[in-house]
Homo-oligomer: A and B are copies of this chain.
Amino acid sequence: MVPGGARRSTIKQIAREAGVSVTTVSRALNDKPDIHPATKSRILSVAAQLGYTPNPMARGLVSQRTFTLGLAVRTISDMWVAQIVPAIEELARANGYEVFLSTHYADPEQELHVLEAFHQRYVEGILVISSTLGDAYPALQERWGIPIVLVSPLIATPHRYVVRTDDVGGAKAATAYLIQLGHRRIGHIGVPTWTLPGRERLDGYRQALEAHSLTYNPRWVVLGDADVTGGLEGARQILSLPDPPTALFCFNDLTAVGVLRAAREQGLRVPHDLSVVGFDDVPFACYVDPTLSTMHQDTRALGHQATQMLLERIAGDEPEAPVELQTHLIVRDSTAPPSTRLAARVHVVRPKEES
């Protein structure tokens, strides 16, 4: 870098310039009592004129604080995550914290690396979205002496400090909604049950069926990847059954988009021939065709609450935990009462020349 511009002013310089001691400068800068208003304002103006900014390292060295948080996410290229992150960053920043961001790609080994790197950087607290370390957190916390808060863990964990979505409830509500529309044959495109959300959304789905005395048909349930391809393949499989369901509750909006494609492949019109409900309510849910009915997650609240919890714990308080946020149903165009395929061919809802 160009030399010359780099030199920073210190309290020592301010002290010299203002004709006082560094102690007095420190007092003025930190709004401490026992200082004459006149000297204080003089010092402040000198500081401003010198463009002084305190050195966080020097400060941290004595105060043992870094005002830094670590944030580990599975990937940033996930719209659900991408909505949570800014909420965290904003609240952290509003409290004087800066946040280190890192990706763990749902790999426990990588996650541990990331967390260790955070610890080495003396972060004051760690936030993990879609955590995969399960049992490890209480011990890590204890060992490192810093609080760890989990947002929607991917794996079940004994850790108390968790902010998550009520997946069971959301899945139940989504399924109940389909039942209420009149569907009796409802399938589920899910993800493996070793993941917490996968298991719980499946559970919610089953509970809703049970609550309405509908029998659970395992052939209407396919567990695959939590992306478009997963939804596509799962739906292909289910829709080629001799007795396919008339509605599908999908793990998330991505899988729902895959289902939409599969339906199109098979010449099924959504929602007329097939109703589809997603989960998450990511931004593009209202851009696909048809727009997606889905369970809305308040990602902003998720981020805020988690950060809040972390900051409270850093402050030494004991926040209420765990926190579970509710979802709510967003009805768009991918759901409707069931009809038979033949009837569907009579009504032309949308011009659809293909197939």
Contacts and interface: CB of A to CB of B under 8 A. Distances in A.
A257 B82 CA distance: 20
Interface residues of A, number: 66
Given A55-B61, A61-B58, A228-B287, A103 B76 contact: no
A164 interface: no
B82 A76 contact: yes
A204 interface: no
Interface stretch (A24-32, A114-122, A320-328): A114-122
Most buried by B among A103, A145, A316, A350: A145
A319 interface: no
Given A93-B102, A145-B5, A264-B289, A61 B57 contact: yes
A232 B351 CA distance: 18
Interface stretch (A83-91, A207-215, A239-247): A83-91
Interface string A55-99: 111101100001000000001111100110110011001000011
A316 B1 contact: yes
A7 B145 contact: yes
A172 to B, nearest CB: 28
Nearest to A80: B77
Contact of A76 (B1, B61, B85): B85
Given A56-B120, A117-B98, A121-B98, A77 B283 contact: yes
Interface string A284-325: 100111000000000000000000000001101000000000
Nearest to A228: B287
A267 B351 contact: yes
Interface in A194-243: 228
A2 interface: yes
Contact of A77 (B6, B55, B83): B83
A314 B6 CA distance: 12
A140 to B, nearest CB: 9
A202 to B, nearest CB: 24
Contact of A99 (B85, B100, B142, B143): B100
Given A57-B57, A82-B82, A287-B257, A141 B103 contact: no
A2 B53 CA distance: 32
B77 A103 contact: no
B103 A142 contact: no
Interface of A: 1-7, 53-58, 60-61, 66, 75-79, 82-83, 85-86, 89-90, 93, 98-103, 117, 119-122, 141-147, 228, 257-258, 260-261, 264, 267, 269, 283-284, 287-289, 313-314, 316, 350-351, 353-354
6 contacts: A2-B145, A5-B144, A56-B57, A56-B121, A78-B82, A288-B288
